[in-house]
Amino acid sequence: MRQVIIIGSGPAGYTAAIYAARAGLAPLVIASSVEAGGELMNTTDVENYPGFPEGVQGPDLMMSFEAQAERFGAEILLDDVTSVELEGPVKKVTLGSGEVVEALAVIVATGSAYRKLGLADEERLTGRGVSWCATCDGFFFKEKTIAVVGGGDSAMEEATFLTRFADKVYVIYRGDTLRASLTMQQRAFDNEKIEFIWNSQVTAINGEESVTGITVHNSATGEDSTLEVQGLFIAIGSDPRTALVSGQIDLSDDGTIAVEGRTSKTSLTGVFAAGDVTDPTYRQAVTAAGTGCVAALDAEHYLATLPAETIAQTQGPAAPEEKELVTS
């Protein structure tokens, strides 16, 4: 049995792991078998993470998080969690491999999942022109025409990035005032390859083997039109990933995991949550990292209230190798 298991490996999960490992809790991080590192693995330049005046590549940042957690004794497992039993003093976490791991505390940092448009052919044409990840798939669209859906930072970032490859990028936005930050908007406005299509929704994705076009409805004029594009990148936000825990811990009305005030405490004793899965508002790497720290500290305080003989039944703790860096 572990003292603490952390589910998720984005900025929240890895920051929780760094803090928990430095506290000698020998955390087990279940990082996912396909998406270890979270959403920043699909990002290019991260310009607003403090400490990197020149910016940093998302994957590089996440690999640094991981290395830092491992340095202090966190164990990182590239597997998925298929189910959890969080009630009672011993939490049970079932892995994709079928193995069940137990812990006295669990930190849920499962992040969020990309939203879909909900169109008939979206699933069928995924990987055949429909994508949620410009950094993963942009390369396949050299000299092509692409549409990006959305009006937030992600859509601006994806559209701008895709102009490295595509000849033309349409941004299709359902409103007329973008939600994205002004800097990201301006960068997109300044890019000659980007054309905005306002007040519009994609209503159909066309193509047999791969995307050949989209149908767009303009809500201001009531007109439908067809755009010839070979790619459709969907950047319309994401929803908290709560499927694992819903029914066991309380969710807020907005669908995020409910936490007590500024803490990471959920409705179940010994279960903490951090990062985008708890955050309907800010959803930045740095805020996720901050709440990951909070969750590790809350877990540490909780474990300190348990009888010594209970803690003695757990594996570890491994002594941190780099004691000289422990300053707080």
- Whether the CB-CB separation of 94 and 84 falls below 8 Å is answered with yes
Q: Give min distance, CB of 199 to ligand NAP, in A.
A: 10
Of the candidate residues 24, 152, 280, 316, the single one contacting ligand NAP (CB under 6 A):
152
- Whose Cβ is closer to ligand NAP: residue 30's or residue 147's? 147
Q: Which of residues 162-191 bind ligand NAP (CB under 6 A)?
A: 174-175, 179
**CA 227 from centroid of its chain's CA atoms:** 31
Cα dihedral 255/98/299/314 (nearest 10)? 170
* Residue 243 token pair: 């499927």
Which residue, 61 or 104, has its beta carbon nearer to ligand NAP? 61
Q: Is 133 assigned a catalytic role?
A: yes
Judged by CB, which is closer to ligand NAP: 21, or 148?
Answer: 148
Instruction: Respond yes or no: is residue 136 known to be catalytic.
Output: yes
**Choice between 42 and 230, CB closer to ligand NAP:** 42
> For the CA atoms of the chain, what is the radius of gyration?
22
Asked if 134 and 219 count as a contact pair (C-beta separation under 8 A), the reply is no
**Considering CB under 6 A, how many residues would be counted as binding ligand NAP?**
20
DSSP type of residue 223: -
- How far apart, in whole angstroms, are the C-alpha atoms of residue 9 and residue 30? 7
Number of H helices, E strands in the chain: 7, 19
What is the footprint of ligand NAP within residues 95-124 (CB under 6 A)?
115, 117
Find the catalytic residue in 79, 121, 133, 293.
133
Applying CB under 6 A, the residues found at the interface with ligand NAP are: 48, 115, 117, 149-155, 157, 174-175, 179, 201, 235-238, 283
Residues acting as catalytic residues? 133, 136-137
